[in-house]
């Protein structure tokens, strides 16, 4: 028995994460006042890669790219929507979960990245429910198996049709020798509060659970006869909608198609340029500051729409991170730089902070938070370089505390002024990590004096020595040593084992409390990553490889 090698595994088509409802193949959105229905009807003949069919509403990364886009659009384009009902357009089947044939033929890296992306999408669903007043519920009009049930678990209310056949299940352990890959184990016990022993039973029963027992075990909230199902779904959706603070009379902003141009070694977006150094195995994310003054109020933000600088720049960063993750796996180091007028960035920060109660500003801040979380869990070494002309201020300064190391020039390299950084109020509450803390709280864990000192530095332009003394950067080489320091840093990093670096970085990034999110991205992802390489799952006689063939998997019975 042996695991499938990266070379032998089928490659996945180069992915584009920009989607739009007019191009959806697997989802549709139907809006009726405060309630939206997000309907899953997967086109089995439209997989993201060749070699499998998406039968029984099973999904691959292409299905989830559309789902992620739909969740974003409902938040930004439809402030009137207060409840989102996820349901199926296929009678008798809500969702069969991740497509098993796809998992069987995909490379290890694609499987892991696929699980990570689907986790992030499900977290964005919970983020909408908890922080945006747009509560999600699941109307399970058929069986929800594996990842299908995990999708339902990301919602706040689960309703299953009571027709004698529909059930919920997490059959990955008994059937596939892997784990539920998108938070199912964690959400069952941490979110649904299912008793550990009952959860153990549920996760080892292939056929799952249905009927009143599933409700009693807290796997579901409600069973409803088919004759009353639609009526009860509407009733519950309106009940949840009545609890929301989203505006009823506002109109949203359109998430227009994200502009992106590509050359062999460069990707350009509005306000973001990505430069690819394939020989050095790194990518540089250069973020440009605003090209105009901040608007005066929240209404002006709405009028600007996707051209509003913080929204435009975070859309570009979000897409760039996903593009690099899936399409450029050999570029192991991500360098973050900024350029522009720091005073303008500070003005945009102040606008966001002063209007945090406005529904649209709230969504923009939450989007920045989610994207920075995506950076936190990206399997790349991350460095920030603060050079002359940089504008690491406020929301961009938070990137200095997200990266693994930051280097700031002490002095000048040319006739431009020495660089400075500047903290704003946004660095102390609006942008939180998966552990529930700000990046500065995580940075100064157990060191309240340094955190208090940082708060006293808000709105001050800090040169390299001041930033170093405050613990806000890692190193401050002078102009004589700068180029050599950076060159040696990048060469050294590229010489290390990427696997060891990924493990080290992930262990160091999440100091502080453990939350549902950190469990999913830390504990679950680490185990799933390992299990996906084990012969019991991925070998020629493994469960993933043989599923559906009628042959039984052959397991190495030794415990590791």
pLDDT per position as a tens digit, 375-402: 999 999 999 999 999 999 999 999 999 9
Same domain, 93 and 222: yes
Phi-psi region of 401 (alpha: psi -120 to 50; beta: other; left: phi over 0): alpha
Same domain, 39 and 184: yes
In the predicted model, is pLDDT for residue 4 greater than 80?
no
| The 333-339 sheet, strands edge to edge | 261-263, 266-269, 272-277, 282-288, 333-339, 381-386, 405-408
Do the domain assignments include residue 250?
A: no
Do the domain assignments include residue 560?
A: no
Q: What is the pLDDT of residues 93-117, one digit of tens each?
A: 999 999 999 998 999 999 999 999 9
Same domain, 25 and 93: yes
| Per-residue pLDDT, 525 | 81
Do the domain assignments include residue 498?
A: yes
| Per-residue pLDDT, 2 | 32
Do the domain assignments include residue 493?
A: yes
Q: What are phi and psi of 413, to 5 degrees?
A: -105, -20
Same domain, 226 and 316: no
Tell me if 208 sits within 8 A of 103, measured CB to CB: no
pTM to 2 decimal places: 0.95
Do the domain assignments include residue 447?
A: yes
Please identify, among 184, 208, 243, the residue that sits at the C-terminal boundary of a domain. Answer: 243
Segment 44-62 mean pLDDT: 96
> What distance in Å separates the CA atoms of residue 328 and residue 130, rounded to the nearest whole number?
33
- Contacts of 333 by beta carbon, 8 Å cutoff, 6+ apart: 280, 281, 282, 283, 380, 381, 382, 383, 490, 493, 494
Q: How far is CA 365 from CA 24, 153, 328, 372, in A?
A: 27, 25, 28, 11
Tell me if 81 sits within 8 A of 246, measured CB to CB: yes
DSSP calls for 2-46: -BPPTTTSBPPPPP-----GGG-SSEEEEEETTEEEEEE---TT-
Q: What are phi and psi of 27, to 5 degrees?
A: -130, 155
Same domain, 266 and 238: no
Please identify, among 243, 270, 298, the residue that sits at the C-terminal boundary of a domain. Answer: 243
Same domain, 271 and 237: no
| Per-residue pLDDT, 291 | 96
- pLDDT band at residue 181 under the 50/70/90 scheme: confident
> What distance in Å separates the CA atoms of residue 116 and residue 378, rounded to the nearest whole number?
9
Same domain, 171 and 229: yes
CATH number (domain holding residue 164): 3.90.226.10
Which value, to the nearest 10 degrees, does the dihedral of the CA atoms of residues 397, 399, 405, 409 take? Answer: -40
Encode burial over 139-173: b for 16+ CB neighbours within 10 A, e otherwise.
Answer: bbbbbbbbbbbbbbbbbbbbbbbbbeebbbbbbbb
> What distance in Å separates the CA atoms of residue 7 and residue 178, rounded to the nearest whole number?
22
* Residue of 45, 28, 146, 40 lying closest to 96 (CA atoms): 146
Please identify, among 243, 271, 288, the residue that sits at the C-terminal boundary of a domain. Answer: 243
Same domain, 194 and 239: yes
Do the domain assignments include residue 485?
A: yes
Do the domain assignments include residue 536?
A: no
Segment 284-310 mean pLDDT: 97
Same domain, 145 and 72: yes
> What distance in Å separates the CA atoms of residue 29 and residue 252, rounded to the nearest whole number?
16
The structural domain count of the chain equals 2
The residue range of the domain holding 49 is 21-243
- pLDDT band at residue 12 under the 50/70/90 scheme: low
SS (H, E, C) 112-147: HHHHHHHHHHHHHHHHHHHHCCCEEEEEECEEEECH
User: Per DSSP, what are the bridge partners of residue 143?
Assistant: 93
Same domain, 216 and 297: no
In the predicted model, is pLDDT for residue 486 greater than 80?
yes
Same domain, 340 and 231: no
- pLDDT band at residue 545 under the 50/70/90 scheme: confident
Three-state secondary-structure class, residue 335: strand
Same domain, 267 and 406: yes
Q: Provide the strand spans (E) within 350-436.
A: 381-386, 405-408
- pLDDT band at residue 342 under the 50/70/90 scheme: very high
> What distance in Å separates the CA atoms of residue 435 and residue 515, rounded to the nearest whole number?
6
Six token digits for residue 256: 């227009």
Do the domain assignments include residue 379?
A: yes
């Amino acid at each position: 028995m042996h695991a499938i090698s990266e070379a032998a595994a089928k490659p996945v088509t180069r992915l584009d994460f920009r989607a739009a409802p007019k191009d959806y193949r697997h989802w549709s959105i139907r809006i009726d006042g405060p309630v939206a229905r997000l309907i899953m009807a997967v086109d089995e003949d439209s997989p993201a890669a060749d070699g499998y069919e998406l039968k029984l509403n099973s999904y691959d990364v292409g299905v989830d790219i559309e789902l992620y886009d739909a969740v974003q659009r409902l938040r930004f384009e439809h402030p009137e929507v207060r409840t989102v009902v996820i349901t199926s357009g296929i009678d008798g089947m809500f969702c069969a979960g991740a497509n098993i044939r796809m998992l069987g033929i995909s490379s290890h890296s694609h499987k892991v990245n696929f699980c990570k992306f689907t986790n992030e999408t499900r977290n964005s669903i919970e983020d909408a429910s908890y922080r945006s007043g747009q509560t999600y519920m699941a109307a399970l009009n058929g069986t929800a198996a594996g990842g299908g049930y995990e999708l339902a678990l990301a919602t706040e209310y689960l309703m299953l049709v009571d027709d004698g056949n529909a059930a919920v299940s997490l059959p990955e352990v008994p059937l596939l020798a892997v784990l539920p890959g998108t938070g199912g184990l964690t959400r069952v016990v941490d979110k649904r509060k299912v008793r550990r022993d009952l959860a153990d039973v549920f996760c080892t029963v292939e056929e799952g659970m249905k009927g009143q027992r599933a409700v009693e075990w807290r796997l579901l909230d409600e069973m409803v006869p088919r004759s009353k199902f639609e009526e009860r779904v509407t009733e519950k959706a309106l009940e949840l909608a009545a609890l929301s603070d989203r505006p009823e009379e506002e109109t949203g902003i359109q998430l227009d198609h994200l502009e992106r141009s590509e050359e062999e070694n460069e990707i350009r977006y509005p306000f973001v340029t990505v430069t690819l150094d394939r020989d050095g195995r790194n990518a540089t994310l250069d973020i440009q500051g605003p090209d105009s003054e901040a608007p005066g109020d929240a209404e002006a933000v709405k009028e600007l729409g996707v051209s509003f600088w913080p929204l435009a720049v975070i859309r570009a960063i979000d897409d760039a991170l996903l593009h690099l993750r899936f399409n450029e796996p050999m570029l192991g180091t991500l360098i973050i730089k900024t350029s522009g007028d720091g005073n303008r960035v500070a003005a945009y920060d102040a606008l966001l902070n002063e209007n945090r109660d406005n529904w649209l500003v709230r969504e923009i801040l939450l989007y920045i938070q989610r994207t920075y979380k995506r950076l936190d869990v990206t399997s790349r070494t991350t460095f920030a370089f603060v050079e002359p002309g940089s504008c690491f201020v406020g929301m961009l300064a938070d990137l200095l505390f997200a990266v693994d190391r930051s280097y700031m020039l002490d002095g000048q390299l040319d006739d431009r002024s020495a660089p400075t950084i500047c903290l704003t109020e946004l660095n102390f509450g609006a942008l939180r990590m998966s552990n529930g803390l700000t990046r500065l709280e995580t940075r100064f864990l157990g060191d309240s004096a340094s955190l208090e000192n940082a708060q006293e530095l808000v709105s001050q332009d800090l040169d390299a020595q001041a930033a170093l003394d405050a613990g806000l950067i890692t190193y401050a080489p002078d102009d004589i040593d700068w180029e050599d320091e950076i060159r040696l840093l990048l060469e050294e990093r590229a010489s290390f084992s990427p696997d060891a670096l990924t493990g080290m970085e992930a262990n160091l990034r999440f100091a502080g409390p453990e939350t549902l999110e950190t469990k999913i991205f830390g504990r679950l992802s680490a185990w799933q990553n390992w299990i996906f390489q084990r012969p019991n799952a991925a070998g020629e006689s493994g469960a993933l490889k043989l599923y559906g063939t009628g042959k039984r998997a052959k397991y190495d019975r030794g415990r590791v």
